[in-house]
Every structure is written in structure tokens, then in C-alpha cells.
């Protein structure tokens, strides 16, 4: 497979029109979730029949082809990835792919306590757990389920199992959980967690609702420093993602800010997404996608699937262009794309 960049052929690499090298695939293993977070799935889209979702065999084949094209890192997401039966065995198979430098998971943590040890034994090292509040009551209000204790237990079990780092992802919503930011950040004093504050994005929700609750990362950082003291910048490492990283003096863990809206990081984007329904998406914040599942089920060759990767790559825009003004509305909900 050969593609061209500055008139020079580049073998086995996914380099887009803007010279960004794609080496990271986010794979949604299911569109189902056992939580109903109001910013992610305010009204849960009806899950489609299981036979319309990619099977694990199909996902494995797509990943092997992606690896041939230079994918080095895979993150499983959803819906709730741990909600799909067989996911741990799938992780085990992925971890056996030598060329993959990293296999990781984003989860709501509700099923993690029972699966953390097996995931670690399968070869996974990194895990991101979503947690937006430390209050059991608020958790129930936000997600529709009384599962805060289960999630906290899952976080503790993954730390015990040896995941490093354990990352905690918090979407900050003004008027709902912004007052908890100091307490969440202070977890890094006691535990070696990376707590990352994510800007609220207007996906699948009314842009006005998202805009009313939006707090830009830098404002949040300065508010946090006023309460908890100075944050010291941490040097970036390759493949460490878009978070701007900091730590408190003497902390065991780190704080990160992910500013998808106020300071987008599109120029360094190295990702593509594969939805559970089998569509390749060049960008989280674009509705453009390439149908892979139909070709797979028609018996396409590896070369034909490679061509679909290139087709999706060609659709990758220079930047996402999503704002709170509502000029561009993303109707697809996060739970269906895989955040
Ligand atoms: N169920 C898993 C979980 O809860 O982590 C994986 C899927 S979830 C869609 C992935 C991530 O997307 C979560 O960290 C969630 O907080 C984030 N997310 C969902 N909707 C969002 C929004 N409107 N703005 C910012 N992040 C969002």
C-alpha cells in the first residue's frame, strides 16, 4: 500500500492531506451502555440488533489491517465496552499483536471491579475511567443509576491490579460538578491517578445547553490554583494524548486538562474511530464516515479494506469546526460514536 505525501511515497503509513500521521484507532465495541449520562446519552438511542454490530472477529481483522497501515495504539470504548460479553478475551487477543504498542480501555467503571484483574492479566496496562462526581446522590442524578460505589470500587481494584496510570476522566459542567473540581484534583495527592478535566462538547445535545454549562479549561485551571495552589507543568511524552498535564507539588498523580473546544488540538490529531456498527470515522466531531461492515460481509479482500482506511483518511478535515453557536450540529450521540 502506497500513499503520497509531498510527492514522496510513504509505505504502510496513514498520513493525511495535512501531514498528520494516524497511528491511533479508537474502537467502539458496543453501542449499548448501562448508564444514561445526561451529557452523553440524554435519551439513549435504541441499540441496534447485535448481528448488525461488528463481531469480535471482524474487529480483529480490521485492527490487523490497521496495524499493517501503521496503527500502533488501540483504545476500546463504547457505549460501555465492558458491557459486551467476550470483551476480555478480545483484549487478550489484541495484546498478542506484537506491533501494537498499546491496548487500552475507556470505561464507566461499573463492571470494572470484577474484570480489572483479568484485563491486567490479558496484557492491558492503561485504563481510563469516567467519573464526574464524588457524590453518590449526584452520580445517580447524572447517570440515572445508583452505581457510584461500584465505580469507586472499580477504580480501587484497577489500581490494585497494577494499571498504570489509572486515569479518571471528568467532564466539567458549570453549576453541576465544577464545585467538585478541587476535591477530584486532590485525589492525586493521595493516589497515583491522573485526573483529567474534559471540556463539555455539544455533541448530541442542544448547543445552548452545553454552552450554558461550559467552562474553558484555562479558566478552570486558574480557579483550581486559587483554591489548591500552583500546578507544575509536566513534560509531554509521545503518544500521551491531547491533555495539558500538570501536578501539585508532592502529589502522587497528575492533573490534565483536555480543551477540545477552547483550544482544539486538531493539528496534532493522530486518531481515527471505528464505530460498533462498523463505520470508520476520521474525526469524532464530524458525521462523515466510511462503511466497512458491508464490505467485510461481502467478503472484501484485505487490500479493499485498506482502501477504506485511505478513503476515511482523505475525509479527515484540518479541524473539527464545532462551536457552541450551533452552525454545525452533531446529531449522533457520543454513546453511538464512542468517545
Ligand atoms: N462508557 C464509557 C465511559 O463512560 O467512559 C466509554 C464511552 S464514553 C462515550 C467516553 C467518554 O466520552 C467519557 O469519558 C465521557 O465522559 C465522554 N463524553 C461523553 N459525552 C461527552 C460530551 N458531551 N462532552 C465531553 N465528553 C463527553
- At residue 236, the pLDDT reads 66
Distance (Å) of CA 120 to CA 11, 27, 62, 164, 307: 34, 19, 23, 10, 34
Within-domain flag for 6: no
Phi-psi region of 110 (alpha: psi -120 to 50; beta: other; left: phi over 0): alpha
Give the count of domains, the chain: 1
Decide which of 225 and 202 is more confident: 225
Residue 305 lies in a domain: yes
Q: What is the pLDDT of residue 7?
A: 44
1 assigned to some structural domain: no
- The pLDDT tens digits for 14-39 are 999 999 999 999 999 999 999 999 88
| CATH number where 209 lies | 3.20.20.70
Q: Are 10 and 3 in contact (CB under 8 A)?
A: yes
Determine, yes or no, domain membership for 181: yes
Q: Is the confidence at residue 52, as pLDDT, over 90?
A: yes
Confidence of residue 8 (pLDDT cuts 50, 70, 90): very low
- With a 6 Å cutoff on the Cβ, whether 74 touches ligand 1 is no
Residue 3 located in a structural domain: no
40 C-alpha to ligand 1 centroid (Å): 6
Query: Could you report the per-residue pLDDT of 149-180, keeping only the tens digit for each?
Result: 999 999 999 999 999 999 999 999 999 999 99
Residue nearest to atom 1 of ligand 1 (CA): 80
Q: Is the CB of 78 under 6 A from ligand 1?
A: yes
Shortest CA distance to 170 belongs to which of 113, 93, 243, 61?
243
HEC assignment per residue over 273-298: EECCCCEEECCCCCCCCEECHHHHHC
pLDDT tens digits for range 279-308: 999 998 888 999 999 999 999 999 999 999
The predicted pLDDT at position 9 comes to 42
Q: Please give the residue range of the domain that contains residue 127.
A: 24-337
Amino acid at each position: 500500500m502506497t500513499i503520497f505525501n509531498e510527492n514522496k511515497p510513504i509505505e504502510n503509513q496513514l498520513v493525511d492531506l495535512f501531514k498528520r500521521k494516524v497511528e491511533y484507532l479508537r474502537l467502539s465495541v458496543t453501542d449499548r451502555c448501562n448508564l444514561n449520562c445526561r451529557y452523553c446519552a440524554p435519551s439513549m438511542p435504541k441499540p441496534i440488533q447485535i448481528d448488525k454490530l461488528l463481531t469480535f472477529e471482524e474487529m480483529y481483522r480490521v485492527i490487523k489491517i490497521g496495524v499493517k497501515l501503521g496503527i500502533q495504539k488501540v483504545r476500546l470504548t463504547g457505549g460501555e465496552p465492558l458491557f459486551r460479553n467476550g470483551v476480555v478475551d478480545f483484549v487478550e487477543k489484541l495484546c498478542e499483536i506484537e506491533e501494537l504498542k498499546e491496548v487500552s480501555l475507556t470505561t464507566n467503571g461499573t463492571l470494572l471491579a470484577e474484570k480489572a484483574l483479568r484485563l491486567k492479566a490479558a496484557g492491558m496496562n492503561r485504563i481510563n475511567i469516567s467519573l464526574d462526581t464524588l457524590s453518590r446522590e449526584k452520580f445517580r442524578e447524572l447517570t440515572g443509576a445508583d452505581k457510584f460505589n461500584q465505580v469507586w470500587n472499580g477504580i480501587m481494584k484497577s489500581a490494585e491490579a497494577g494499571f498504570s496510570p489509572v486515569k479518571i476522566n471528568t467532564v466539567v459542567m458549570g453549576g453541576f460538578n465544577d464545585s467538585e473540581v478541587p476535591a477530584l484534583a486532590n485525589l492525586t495527592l493521595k493516589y497515583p491517578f491522573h485526573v483529567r478535566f474534559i471540556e463539555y462538547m455539544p455533541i448530541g445535545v442542544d448547543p445552548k445547553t452545553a454552552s450554558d454549562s461550559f467552562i474553558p479549561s484555562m479558566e478552570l485551571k486558574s480557579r483550581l490554583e486559587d483554591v489548591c495552589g500552583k500546578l507544575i507543568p509536566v513534560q509531554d511524552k509521545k503518544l500521551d494524548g491531547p491533555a495539558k498535564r500538570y501536578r501539585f507539588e508532592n502529589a502522587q498523580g497528575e492533573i490534565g486538562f483536555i480543551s477540545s473546544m477552547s483550544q482544539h488540538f486538531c493539528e496534532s490529531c493522530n486518531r481515527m474511530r471505528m464505530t460498533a456498527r462498523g463505520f470508520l470515522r476520521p474525526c469524532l466531531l464530524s458525521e462523515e464516515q466510511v462503511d466497512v461492515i458491508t464490505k467485510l460481509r461481502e467478503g472484501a479482500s484485505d487490500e479493499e479494506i485498506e482502501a477504506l482506511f485511505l478513503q476515511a483518511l482523505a475525509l479527515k478535515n484540518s479541524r473539527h469546526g464545532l462551536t457552541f453557536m450551533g452552525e454545525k450540529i452533531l446529531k449522533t450521540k457520543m454513546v453511538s460514536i464512542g468517545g
